Structure 1
Amino acid sequence: MSVDGAALAPSASPAAPPPKPWWNTLFQGLQKMGRSLQLPIAVLPAAGILNRLGQPDVFGADGLGWDGVAKVFAAGGGALLDSSLGLPLLFCIGVAIGMARKADGSTALAAVTGFLAYYAVLHAFPLGCAGGSTYTGAGIWSGVCVDPRGTAVTQAAYQNPGVFGGIVMGLLTAWLWRRFHRVKLVDWLGFFNGRRLVPIIMAFVGLTVGSLAVGVWQPIGDGLTAFSKWLVDAGSWGSGIFGVANRGLLVFGLHQFLNTFVWFQFGTYTEPDGTVVHGDVNRFLAGDPTAGQFTTGFFPIMMFALPAAALAIYHCARPHRRKAVGGLMLSVALTSFVTGVTEPIEYSFLFVAPLLYAVHAVLTGVSMFVSWQLGAKDGFSFSAGLIDYVINWGLATKPWLLIPIGLAFGVVYYTLFRVLITKLNLPTPGREPDDPDDPDDPENSEA
């Protein structure tokens, strides 16, 4: 009862929060998928090292002469970088684990089950054999083309969605796992409840997706090939466009979408043994002398330019904050220089001084343009840091040229960053507004 005897009105229930716009949900999903793609990409340094050690100029005939050892390393690295099985399977598992809530081992098992069924269906329908050769054998491993004389054998061609197919299977696995991993069947089928049910479902999903890919992938693949050809034919301009887009998409966490297809899907190179590889990274590691168009220009930025930007941020910090800022900037600069991991330094100024990041994105494109225009060709298995630079020196073309290019960009970055920070009073680390409670601020000390 109220004070005046009237009945109290029931309190209104709190209003439900408005639903998020569909584009917001989509954007968050894409960001999550971008983070998921980083999981299989993290495997690539091992693949790159194994592949490099298997090259003739390291353990092979032109190096130490240990051909047997070289074959072991080359086989291991080649399996991980195989654009038909290895890489797509890695991306399938990585995306499935990354996109499924509370994923566990059953998620990976379901992904592998679905992918192998999908992969087998693709290989059940060879595209045919060229030059009068005839197809023989069946199954995943034995389908080959034999020439009319029966003296030469080559691998038969198949529809190859590659990494794209692996990502699709990973997404389907994650969605179906989230939907069915707690489902309970009737008692007499209770053994197949929940997590044991999802791999069974994925086997049939793999058959379905493989069958669809056999019929519809050709025009999709032709479209991707046409786009990649346009980008490759653009030469240095294509490199520059990719560089700007790569750094621009990093702001939204979506750069891995672009990287994945350009680095692991676009372009074709046939190795001397007949193995076909796709993507700028794989082609470079396989010895393609024309590869590196979409990787070379990152080396000057990651090894020289961003560390120079970190130095400029340190020099622009307030005197009483330079010690703390110096420790931070030294750490992120070394990370960028040695490993090529640039997010720590980029995020240190992205949100507080977006103008600097815009300048950085444009200059990355310029570096990609200049490096390719001058004839330098280099690549990496993980990122454009010192480790990959040293390991892949023997595969690169004019790798020494990246050092003077990098030093020049280092000067440009340091000068531009310092001028813009001081002239526009940008709040980079160490230049934040004064805190009246900061005991280290000389202005707060007693007279």
Structure 2
Amino acid sequence: MSGDGAVRSRRAPGAPRGHWWQGLFQGLQKMGRSLQLPIAVLPAAGILNRLGQPDVFGAQGLGWDAVAKVFAAAGGALLDSSLGLPLLFCIGVAIGMARKADGSTALAAVTGFLAYYAVLHAFPLDCDGAARFTGAGVWSGVCVTPDGTTVTQASYQNPGVFGGIVMGLLTAWLWRRFHRVKLVDWLGFFNGRRLVPIVMAFVGLLVASLSVWVWQPIGDGLTDFSKWLVDAGAWGSGIFGVANRGLLVFGLHQFLNTFVWFQFGDYTKPDGTVVHGDVNRFLAGDPTAGQFTTGFFPIMMFALPAAALAIYHCAKPSRRKAVGGLMLSVALTSFVTGVTEPIEYSFLFVAPLLYAIHAVLTGVSMFVSWQLGAKDGFSFSAGLIDYVINWGLATKPWLLIPIGLAFAVVYYTVFRVLITKLDLPTPGREPDDPDDPGTQEEQTVTGDTRP
């Protein structure tokens, strides 16, 4: 047998190799799904943080200052841009990206992250040579002048959520590589799953040491990009809206969301704490936040439910009842919770033109809402729950209702006209199946008995 034949015979039994970019794309999709796990915690964080605000349980509300402090502390811990959020994303990504992950995966992620966090906090940025730094472990330190007369809070390199994601990815990769490793007999106690947290402690140390030296230019680059997007005003908001819906098609929108909502921008709270990201800044009381969240409310609460109504009205008579139940369910889900994927996926693949229009109109809503001065935000998504809870933190939240009603009219009209004129196969308008009892019923109703 020739050499070429031998090669062919060896490759034949195996599955065909895909392109490298296919594996990369699948990995990014898996990564996007992994990011949803820590994001699912945010509703609890948002509610706790909101209840701790002065106008709810605090001095300007019920006057229960001690109770307000409890809720604010709990919610603030989860939303903390330095420890809470990065740790949540680290654990979520580690569990989501590791095959057959278990509790040891989460333990390894926490171990590595705490080592990483503590090393970062051992190197403050603003303690000059005339001051000494005091602080140890994961606790924030201070800069003290030699005579002890001036004490200032030290600041540190803060890769934030990005650092948490990196540590989560490293945990998942190392767990998959070492969780079945067996050491020599006298080290047998540290075999497999017990080995990974030990390895991650050293990995966290190395990543933090590297971050101390290289993060500054990376952070400056991200800051410049976020500044450009923020300075673009309503146009920046609109660009983000279109990109957000466009990336949803590939399951990659959480990449964009994570950095814009939890990393970009900063706001210093009255107590001196600095928070990052559009969502965190809004929940912390930043009156300028909400640029990348406000315009979603009209779409999720009004426009997409109107699109669902148009799909229902365009369904065939025999299927309208079944489609109506489905569309009512997904419309209520979108309106109340802001979860829109059930509606969007109902027409994304069968009528991609509608989805392209939806992505553009989402950008228009983001542009219009911000241009008119409305500023609102959410902890989970732009549904009724977040709209009501965060009313007191928002600027002109009432304005989102007429904007939403206007977009509802636009969505209903555009969807209904295009579905009927172009005969788009949205739910309830699929091609007839002779074996489908519903099709036979429709033929009886309409008098159409053609085979």
TM-score if structure 1 supplies the norm length? Answer: 0.95
Q: Deviations over 1:214-248 (max 9, x none)?
A: 00000000000000000000000000000000000
Residue 65 (structure 1) aligns with: 63
**Distance between the aligned counterparts of 1:370 and 1:149, measured in 2?**
56
Q: Deviations over 1:7-26 (max 9, x none)?
A: xxxxx785422211100000
Match of 2:382 among 360, 381, 384: 384
The 8 Å contact of residues 421 and 428 in structure 1, kept in 2 or not, is answered as yes
Match of 1:32 among 30, 33, 48: 30
* Partner SS, residue 39 of structure 1: helix
Q: Deviations over 1:310-336 (max 9, x none)?
A: 000000000110000000000000000
The 8 Å contact of residues 140 and 154 in structure 2, kept in 1 or not, is answered as no
The amino acid of 2:214's aligned partner reads: V
**Distance between the aligned counterparts of 1:229 and 1:428, measured in 2?**
41
The 8 Å contact of residues 317 and 442 in structure 2, kept in 1 or not, is answered as no
* Partner SS, residue 269 of structure 1: strand
- CA offset at residue 152 of structure 1? 6.6
- CA offset at residue 148 of structure 1? 8.6
Residue 178 (structure 1) aligns with: 176
* Partner SS, residue 18 of structure 1: coil
Match of 1:337 among 321, 335, 338: 335
The amino acid of 1:297's aligned partner reads: G
The 8 Å contact of residues 438 and 444 in structure 1, kept in 2 or not, is answered as no
Residue 394 (structure 2) aligns with: 396
Query: Which aligned pairs between 1:76-225 and structure 2 lie closer than 5 A?
Result: 76-129=74-127, 135-146=133-144, 153-225=151-223
- CA offset at residue 137 of structure 1? 3.3
Residue 6 (structure 2) aligns with: none
The 8 Å contact of residues 437 and 444 in structure 1, kept in 2 or not, is answered as no
**Distance between the aligned counterparts of 1:192 and 1:113, measured in 2?**
15
Q: Deviations over 1:100-156 (max 9, x none)?
A: 0000000000000000000011001000148x8764333331511357986775431
Counting matched residue pairs gives: 436
**Distance between the aligned counterparts of 1:317 and 1:202, measured in 2?**
55
**Distance between the aligned counterparts of 2:152 and 2:217, measured in 1?**
25
The amino acid of 1:112's aligned partner reads: V
The amino acid of 1:369's aligned partner reads: F
**Distance between the aligned counterparts of 1:174 and 1:237, measured in 2?**
38
Residue 373 (structure 2) aligns with: 375
Residue 292 (structure 2) aligns with: 294
The 8 Å contact of residues 241 and 363 in structure 2, kept in 1 or not, is answered as yes
**Distance between the aligned counterparts of 1:183 and 1:225, measured in 2?**
42
* Farther-moved stretch of structure 1 (149-158 vs 306-315): 149-158
Q: Which runs of 5+ in 2 are unaligned?
A: 1-8
Alpha carbons of structure 1 residues 435 and 188: separation in structure 2 relative to 1, 3 Å = same
The 8 Å contact of residues 436 and 444 in structure 1, kept in 2 or not, is answered as no
The 8 Å contact of residues 122 and 135 in structure 2, kept in 1 or not, is answered as no
1:432 aligns with 2:450: no
**Distance between the aligned counterparts of 1:17 and 1:139, measured in 2?**
50
Alpha carbons of structure 1 residues 357 and 151: separation in structure 2 relative to 1, 3 Å = farther
Alpha carbons of structure 1 residues 329 and 443: separation in structure 2 relative to 1, 3 Å = closer
The 8 Å contact of residues 121 and 140 in structure 2, kept in 1 or not, is answered as no
**Distance between the aligned counterparts of 1:152 and 1:373, measured in 2?**
44
The 8 Å contact of residues 45 and 79 in structure 2, kept in 1 or not, is answered as yes
Residue 270 (structure 1) aligns with: 268
**Distance between the aligned counterparts of 2:400 and 2:148, measured in 1?**
48
* Partner SS, residue 275 of structure 2: strand
**Distance between the aligned counterparts of 1:302 and 1:142, measured in 2?**
40
The amino acid of 1:393's aligned partner reads: W
The amino acid of 1:317's aligned partner reads: A
**Distance between the aligned counterparts of 1:396 and 1:149, measured in 2?**
46
1:42 aligns with 2:40: yes
Alpha carbons of structure 1 residues 154 and 301: separation in structure 2 relative to 1, 3 Å = farther
* Farther-moved stretch of structure 1 (367-376 vs 144-153): 144-153
State the identity %.
Answer: 89
Q: Deviations over 1:29-55 (max 9, x none)?
A: 000000000000000000000000000
- CA offset at residue 444 of structure 1? 4.0
**What root-mean-square deviation, in Å, do the aligned CA atoms of Structure 1 and Structure 2 show?**
1.7
TM-score if structure 2 supplies the norm length? Answer: 0.94
* Partner SS, residue 437 of structure 2: coil
The 8 Å contact of residues 112 and 204 in structure 2, kept in 1 or not, is answered as yes
The 8 Å contact of residues 298 and 403 in structure 2, kept in 1 or not, is answered as yes
* Partner SS, residue 138 of structure 2: helix
**Distance between the aligned counterparts of 1:152 and 1:437, measured in 2?**
83
**Distance between the aligned counterparts of 2:303 and 2:284, measured in 1?**
29
Residue 4 (structure 2) aligns with: none
Alpha carbons of structure 1 residues 279 and 32: separation in structure 2 relative to 1, 3 Å = same
Q: Which runs of 5+ in 1 are unaligned?
A: 1-11
**Distance between the aligned counterparts of 1:300 and 1:387, measured in 2?**
14
Q: Deviations over 1:351-391 (max 9, x none)?
A: 00000000000000000000000000000000000000000
